[in-house]
Each structure stands twice: as structure tokens, then as C-alpha cells.
Amino acid sequence: MHPMINVAIKAARSAGNIINRASLNLERLQVARKQQNDFVTEVDQAAENAIIEVLREAYPSHHILAEEIGYLNGLGESLGPLTFAQAMQQAVPGQDHYLWVIDPLDGTTNFIHGFPQFAVSIGLLVNGVIQQAVIYDPTRDELFTATKGSGAYLNHRRLRVAAQIRLADCLIGTGFPFRDDQDLDGYLKLFKTISRSCAGLRRPGAAALDLAYVAAGRLDAFFEGDLKPWDMVAGVLLIQEAGGLIGTYAGEEGYLSTGQIMAANPKIFAQLVQAMALK
């Protein structure tokens, strides 16, 4: 394995240990509300700190974009919450820009309810290109990894996206709008269109893990709007290395900036683009 993926794995497992220990005593969990239906716990923060500690020890000059702490530059200075575009603007001309993108606990709402569908997500971009990815499900001890150009793996088993050729036969993952500032009415129209076009829709509640499941062929496709970079980066590389396609609902680039993402094998991806246009 690439040395950087080994460091990311160490970081993910360190966070996973914290999450697993906390899951044994959820009644003592301290939960805060960031906004409507958007929660954070001391476990999110402790797991994120553990990841950053491992990454900083190995690569002290690398930059970090994390869900809870925001952006840390290569000097360890906090710049607060930044968008993906703003994070990219922190690159210094003439220098390689290493950016670790971290979600320490994707699926916090699931976690605080004891619903075992959550994961740690860590991705590395080098000069804006995703190079390394780790998504770790601590409940099942499932480790999804990918290095650009070297394939995607689940616990050392090579992954390929599902081979479905008809949208009507597909099991598709999605995410519901859950905040007041999201377009629920628009999503419901889309939900109606896609649900009538496929075999089934599922909303497990952890986007990073949903993307990993597309790479593993457990889901035939996935779509969601209003995601953050830390929800997507690692899953994007996993799917690409497993032979899948990633794009916006129109099949275009820009998903990391817009937050709108769709993923599937090439045949299903094309059919989804057509279906999305009918909403």
C-alpha cells in the first residue's frame, strides 16, 4: 500500500476505536445541535482530533479540511469553516497542495440513536486531484480503501461497481433534505421520478458509506444534493477506482463545489442523467 494510505488507515482506525467505545454508553453522550436536524457530539470532536493528530505527526506541513474544526493550513493555523472552492484557493503557487478532507463521524444522527450505519471518511487531494481514500465502518470493521490508479478495496478484496444494465433493476441509495434551507419540494419531485424508474430506493443516512457501497456493488447507484466535501471526497475515489462514474445530476463535473452528486456504473449513470432531466 501507498505510505499515505497507511497513515490514513491508522487515523481512521484510531477514530473508529473512539466511536466504538462511545457506542457502548450512548445514554451519557453529550449532543449539541448545529442547526435543525444537524447534530454534533463530543465523539465527533474527539474522533476528528485523533485523526488530525495522526495526520499531523506524519505530514505536519499538509493542509486539512475537517467537518468540525474547518480549515487548518500547513502551519497549523485555523482559518475556520471554508467552502471547497475557498480551500482550493489556499494553494501556494509553485508548491504542491496536499489537502486532507475529513469527516470523523458521518451519520451522527444514526450514531446517537444506536442505528449502526455510520463511518469515518478520510480523503487526500494533491493539487486538487483525489489521490487517497479511506472509509471505515467501525461497527462492522469494514475498511474501504483506494489509491488513484491502483483500484479500490474492501479489507484487501478488490471492488467493482455493480454490473446492472437496466435502471428498472437497480437498488439506489439517496439522502433526504433535512434542514430548513434545503429544497424538500424539489427533492420529492425527483424522488417520485426515480422511485418509479428503479427497483427500490434506500436512505441509510450516511452518505460516505453509501458511496462506498456503490463501489462495492451493494448499491447500484446513489444520488444526493447539498452534501459537503467531507461527505464525498473519499467515496468519489472509491467509485472511480471501482469502475464507476461520478457527476452532478446533469452528469457534469463540479459536484465537490455544488454538493450535488450522482454515482453509478457507466450504463446506469447515463440512464439516471436522462431520468433526472424528466423531474
Burial bucket for residue 87 (CB in 10 Å: 0-12, 13-18, 19+): buried
Alpha helices in 216-265 (DSSP H): 229-241, 255-258
Domain boundary among 112, 129, 158: 158
Q: Which of 35-39, 94-98, 218-222 has the lowest mean pLDDT?
A: 35-39
Give residue 25's pLDDT.
Answer: 82
Does 184 lie in the same domain as 148? Answer: no
Give residue 37's pLDDT.
Answer: 43
Measured in whole angstroms, the distance separating CA 238 from the mean position of its chain's CA atoms is: 10
Does 95 lie in the same domain as 217? Answer: no
Q: How far is CA 235 from CA 36, 67, 93, 119, 172, in A?
A: 26, 16, 28, 11, 15
Does 113 lie in the same domain as 12? Answer: yes
Does 118 lie in the same domain as 235? Answer: no
Separation of alpha carbons 254 and 218, rounded Å: 25
Separation of alpha carbons 264 and 172, rounded Å: 9
Does 141 lie in the same domain as 193? Answer: no
Separation of alpha carbons 214 and 192, rounded Å: 21
CATH code at 198?
3.40.190.80
Does 244 lie in the same domain as 152? Answer: no
Domain boundary among 105, 126, 158: 158
Q: Tell me the per-residue pLDDT of 144-159, one tens digit each, with 9 for 90 and over.
A: 999 999 999 999 899 9
Residue 1 pLDDT more than 50? yes
Confidence band for 235, pLDDT divided at 50, 70 and 90 = very high
Give residue 279's pLDDT.
Answer: 61
Range of the domain at 253: 167-276
CATH code at 102?
3.30.540.10
